[in-house]
Amino acid sequence: MSGGVDSAVAAARAVDAGHEVVGVHLALSRMPGTLRTGSRGCCTIEDSLDARRAAEKLGIPFYVWDFSERFRADVVEDFVTEYSSGRTPNPCMRCNERIKFAAVLEKALALGFDAVVTGHYAHIVTDAVGNRELHRASDEAKDQSYVLGVLTTEQLAHAMFPLGTTPSKAVVRAEAAERGFTVAQKPDSHDICFIPDGDTRGWLADRIEPVEGAIIDRSGATVGSHDGATSFTVGQRRGLNLGVPAPDGRPRFVLEVRPRTNEVVVGPLEALAIRELAGRRFTWAGLDPVASGITQADPAGAVAHAALTDAASADTGAAVSPSTDLAATDALLPFDCHVQVRAHADPVPAVAHVAGGELIVSVREPLLGVAPGQTAVLYVGTRVLGQCTIDRTVSADEPARAAAGASAAPAADSAPGDSAAPAADQAAASATLVGSAAL
Amino acid sequence: MIYLDHAATSPMPLEVREAYVEALQLVGNPSSIHTAGQHARAVLDDARVRIAATLGIDAIELTFTGGGTEAVNLAIKGLYWARNAAPSTDARPRILVPRTEHHAALDTVEWLEAHEGATLTWLEVDELGRLSLDGLEEALGDGSDVALVTMLHANNEVGTLQPVAEAAALAAAVGVPVHVDAIAAYGQVRLDPLPHGVSAVSISAHKIGGPVGVGALALRRGSEVVPLLHGGGQQRGRSGTMDAAGAAAFAIAAERAHAELDDRAANKRMLRERLAAGIRQTVPTAVLRGAAGAAAVATELAHSAAASDPARAASHLARAAELDALALPGTLHFTVPGAEGDSLLMLLDARGIAASTGSACQAGVPEPSHVLLAMGLSEADARGALRITLGPATTVDEIDALLVALPEAVERAQAAGLAGQVPRLGRLP
């Protein structure tokens, strides 16, 4: 219970459903602020008092659980590390993945609880044989299934989202008012909870030593300088202060951040469009795509995997136990889905497959400003199928990956300047189809 | 509900509640000159005399406060300022303070350090949580630069009694006043007569069944404090309208606690020993802390040696008696390795048993106890703390119910582990 309206109503509904409910507020900082400031809805003593008041109203026990150490290590430090690696992390997803549905859930299960209930707007559907699926909330504007895309089958099995089928947030607020919760009209939280003033760049600058470096274009030519590469985000346009105008006079955007060389790569808008994204850290929410009947294992890939495993065990002499989970999804034939890369982005049609331990997603429509570190969540209809943390992307105007051999190959000769973005995306789509067929 | 957190606050007995409610109907401010005021004043003065008697002091030596924390603040800040007030006196910036004090004292001395030029000399404790007198003597030096010594009479977490008389004698020898925070000890052990050298003693009503928000500072003749609160000058060292009803209720609770002190202490000691022996049997991984814990272990050794080596058993028994004399009768503290104290607390709470981790909270989160750290525990061990404190009406059945609930709570809390550990769920390969 964060002290916000959603978790208060979720708790109330769990109580009404007849569960034995205990309210838990997470202490995520050893030195919380006293009073709420701005639009934040968690993490101050005032928020903890709000949560406690809601629990009192419900007549349920209430405790504060201290996960400040894990939060620091797994969310805050991960956030800094990811940024300093030139990636753009989503700390709320990390928190769901490692705090709320990991550290908290694990403790709760050990203490004898059955599930963690939260005020997230997402919907869990259980099929006839008890398999759980994660779906979008009924209120699409509030849908939070994206930030829950990291949940695995095991985590989903112990999660409850009582607000998932509520038609709108207004209904939740009205219900909170009816129940006499003081937080009924408390503003939604928007900012990153551990950055009190919302100034992410300033916060990062205090933690990552900014070093002046070059801003270059895709040909490698220096077009300006920056005072710290890690404070830039892919897709960013403002704050570049380029001294040298683009040859075509059009605005330029950050295409890539290279922390190792402290370079920021810029280019035209259409160069932001990607046709492919991929990541090695992927999970399935509920049944994997094979068990769900969405695709089939790729026999060629599975053979390759087995060979690799044999080689590894021969090398080390260690017994390698075959993981059925891994074997089932280590290589998957292409399947249709939608991919969403930000909490409030529109999903775009895509084709996904798994090869070589990597989830590879080819999009059929323009997808702009996708940065490594972001999470790509795959949907089939309203169902969340799974997710990956994006390791690499392929620009729409780059040569096919197989030909280029590397994701960061500059594409200076592709001269995208005059081609309109949709045209580039069409090319991407057809390239994707070819690539998929070849695989 | 089985209430075993009397050190946090002890419920108000009917007799006290009735006296309190009756006194609340009094009309008149004790400082008013008219008859109504004089009636209220009579109630207050009567209470003052009766509470002073429990400490063996005169009524003028007792100043009522708005609770224990105010009394501690008044004593420490008041003595510090008074000792450094006279322009002719040499500077006495040093405050001697054991590491295991209650936060009321710790935060006060740290405030004086941050804002009033105090320098702090921290005093060490042994593994039972008892102040080292050698350390105190060395820290006192010739006393010329020392403003005061502040120390607990009994540690509020582990219940270990402190060598107050010896410490006060050492301080008195070099002319340094001693403040004793006796909030955890008052009504549990006899404080009368106050040892020579003790200048001030803080006590609180609600720890012995009196009302919350009522405390007192015993301030000996010859010791003066600079007030915290300025105003009407109603009492020695304190301004503010005096709470006649609170004082009356405090006096009843105090008299009752002292009239029944020996019986209550004997009963609590018996229950504590039963609990300690039970924990040693049912939760062998738990480690009993403080003098009470060490006494229980010595008793157990005596019993196991009784048949084979009577001399050895007798020596263990003698040691147990020595240790027992250093323990509050109604406090038992233990740590459970690999568990969070607040997990234990919550699980017992779910079974209707109210206990405590013993340490201070920040926004509801127990911090690893500074007392246990000072006693030499690791931070991980300190996290598994649970404090059981008994009251005058605690029964054998309640202790046995705790002993029934505890093993499962410990098992689950150990399974849940420490909050800082890396969870298995949500970890990608």
Are B426 and A150 a contacting pair at CB < 8 A? yes
Whether residue B419 and residue A103 make contact (CB cut-off 8 A), yes or no, is yes
The whole-number pLDDT of residue A34 equals 66
d(Cα B100, Cα B106) in Å, to the nearest integer?
9
Scan residues 359-378 of B and list those with Cβ closer than 8 Å to A.
362-366
Partner residue facing B363 (CB), from A27, A105, A283: A27
What are B100-139's pLDDT values in tens digits?
Answer: 999 999 999 999 999 999 999 999 999 999 999 999 999 9
Sheet holding B215-219, edge to edge: B62-65, B215-219, B198-204, B178-181, B146-152, B94-98, B119-123
Which residue among B342, B417, B426 places its CB closest to the CB of A98? B426
Q: In what order do the strands lie in the sheet with B287-289?
A: B287-289, B331-335, B385-389
Which secondary structure element, helix H or strand E, spans residue A267, and what is its range? strand A263-267
Q: For strand B215-219 and strand B198-204, is the pairing parallel, antiparallel, or unpaired?
A: antiparallel
Task: Give mean pLDDT, residues B417-424.
Answer: 88
Shared-domain flag, residues B220 and B276: no
Residue in B42, B361, B396, B404 annotated catalytic:
B361
> Is residue A277 within 8 Å of residue A376, measured between CB atoms?
yes
pLDDT of residue B336: 98
Q: Which amino acid is at A165?
A: T
* CATH number of domain containing B360: 3.90.1150.10
Is B426 within a domain?
no
Give the CATH number of the domain where residue A433 resides. Answer: 2.40.30.10
In this structure, the answer to whether residues B153 and B121 fall within a common structural domain is yes
Assigned token pair, B407 = 């093993």
In a domain, A201, yes or no: no
Asked if residue B423 belongs to a domain, the reply is: no
What is the ipTM metric for this complex?
0.89
Decide if A195 is inside a domain.
no
Ranking A267-281, A306-320, B36-50, B293-307 by mean pLDDT, the lowest is A306-320
In this structure, the answer to whether residues A93 and A146 fall within a common structural domain is: yes
**Do A237 and A96 lie in a common domain?**
no
> The tokens of A86 are what?
């030139």
Same domain, B249 and B267: no
Look at residue B5 and tell me if it is in a domain. Answer: no
Q: Give how far A262 is from chain B: nearest CA, Å.
A: 29
Out of B83-87, B157-161, B299-303, B364-368, which region has the weakest mean confidence (pLDDT)? B364-368
Does A409 lie in the same domain as A381? yes
Q: C-alpha distances in angstroms, A162 versus A7, A134, A159, A385? A: 9, 13, 10, 20
- Single out the residue in A127, A160, A178 at which a domain terminates: A178
- Residues in chain A with CB shorter than 8 Å from the CB of B422 are 70
Asked if A70 and B425 come within 8 Å (Cβ–Cβ), the reply is no
Indicate if B216 and B119 belong to the same structural domain. Answer: yes
- The reported pLDDT for the residue numbered A194 is 87
* Any domain includes B325: yes
Do A118 and A135 fall within a single domain? yes
CA distance B68 to chain A (A): 24
Q: Which of B208, B243, B259 is where one domain is finished?
A: B259
Which chain A residues are within 8 Å of B416, Cβ to Cβ? 106-107, 110-111
Residue A194 lies in a domain: no
Do B44 and B146 lie in a common domain? Answer: yes
What pLDDT, on a 0 to 100 scale, did the predictor assign at position A401?
A: 45
Quote the pLDDT of residue A407. Answer: 39
Overall number of domains in chain B:
2
Whether residues B179 and B297 share a domain: the answer is: no
Together in a domain, B147 and B73: yes
Q: Which residue(s) pair with A349 in the sheet?
A: A338
Q: Does B342 touch chain A (CB under 8 A)?
A: yes
Domain coverage including residue B179 = 11-259
Q: What integer pLDDT is reported at residue A259 of this predicted model?
A: 82
A427 falls within a domain: yes
Asked whether A254 and A265 are in contact (CB, 8 A), the reply is yes
Q: Are residues A217 and A137 in the same domain?
A: no
Angle at B372 between CA B367 and CA B374, to 5 degrees: 110
Question: In angstroms, what separates the C-alpha of A105 from chain B's closest C-alpha?
Answer: 8
* A391 class by beta-carbon count within 10 Å (0-12 exposed, 13-18 middle, 19+ buried): middle
A294 shares a domain with A246: no
User: Do A258 and A294 have their domain in common?
Assistant: no
Q: How many domains does chain A have?
A: 3
B361 is catalytic: yes
The whole-number pLDDT of residue A29 equals 81
Distance, C-alpha B298 to centroid of its chain:
24
Mean residue pLDDT across chain B? 96
Q: Decide if B335 is inside a domain.
A: yes
State the 10-residue block means of pLDDT for chain A, 439 residues long: 95 98 90 61 78 96 92 93 87 92 95 97 91 93 94 93 94 96 86 82 86 90 87 82 76 87 88 92 92 88 54 44 47 95 92 94 90 94 95 80 38 34 31 28
Residue A329 lies in a domain: yes
Q: Does A35 lie at the interface with B, CB-CB under 8 angstroms? A: no
User: What pLDDT sits at residue B429?
Assistant: 43
Q: Please report the pLDDT score of residue B427 as a whole number.
A: 61
Query: Which of B414, B425, B427 best tests the A interface by mutation, with the highest count of A CBs <10 A?
Result: B425
Interface of B with A in 212-251 (CB under 8 A): none
Domain boundary among A137, A163, A178: A178
**Residue B410 reports pLDDT greater than 90:** yes
Q: Is the pTM above the cut of 0.90?
A: no
The answer to whether residues B225 and B137 belong to one domain is: yes
Among B365, B366, B425, whose Cβ lies nearest the Cβ of A105? B425
Does B194 reside within a domain? yes
Q: Which pLDDT does position B290 carry in this prediction?
A: 98
Q: With b meaning 16 or more CB within 10 Å and e meaning fewer, what string describes A206-235? A: eebebeebbbbbbeeeebbebebbbbbbbe
Same domain? For A306 and A341 the reply is: yes
pLDDT of residue B138: 98
The answer to whether residue B254 sits within a structural domain is yes
* Residue B27: count of CB within 10 angstroms of its CB: 11
Residues spanned by the domain of A248: 208-267
> What confidence score (pLDDT) does residue A415 get?
34
